[in-house]
Amino acid sequence: MGRVIYAWPVASSRRVTTYEVLLDDAGTLSCECPAFIFCKAGQPRTCRHVREKHAEAVEILRRFKAGLALPPKPTLAPAPRMPLKKAVGDGLVDAIAAVEL
């Protein structure tokens, strides 16, 4: 692993944990998730996060090598919210009660 030039926060499949996908100055992507770390011997080391970021990584590496500014480090999209009940009559009260619980 060379010098890390970029990192993306990514969520575990159940969004319980956050990992980082790292890109180094040699163009190598790595990930902190178990699928990447504990890959089977003889298998190419990858995971769905690395595959997800591959196209972006190509562009970032291109910018890095051209001496261009890299985009700001992305933040993780918030977890999807539970849908609130319809805000009609008693439903509104239910929705507020659910939030406060």
Could you list the residues that contact Zn ion (CB under 5 A)? Answer: 31, 33, 36, 47, 49
3-state secondary structure of 87: coil
Residue placing its CB nearer to Zn ion in the complex, 58 or 98: 58
- Distance in Å, CB of 39 to Zn ion, minimum: 10
- Distance in Å, CB of 21 to Zn ion, minimum: 6
Residue placing its CB nearer to Zn ion in the complex, 23 or 33: 33
The answer to whether the Cα torsion of 68, 8, 48, 19 is positive or negative is positive
84: which DSSP letter? Answer: P
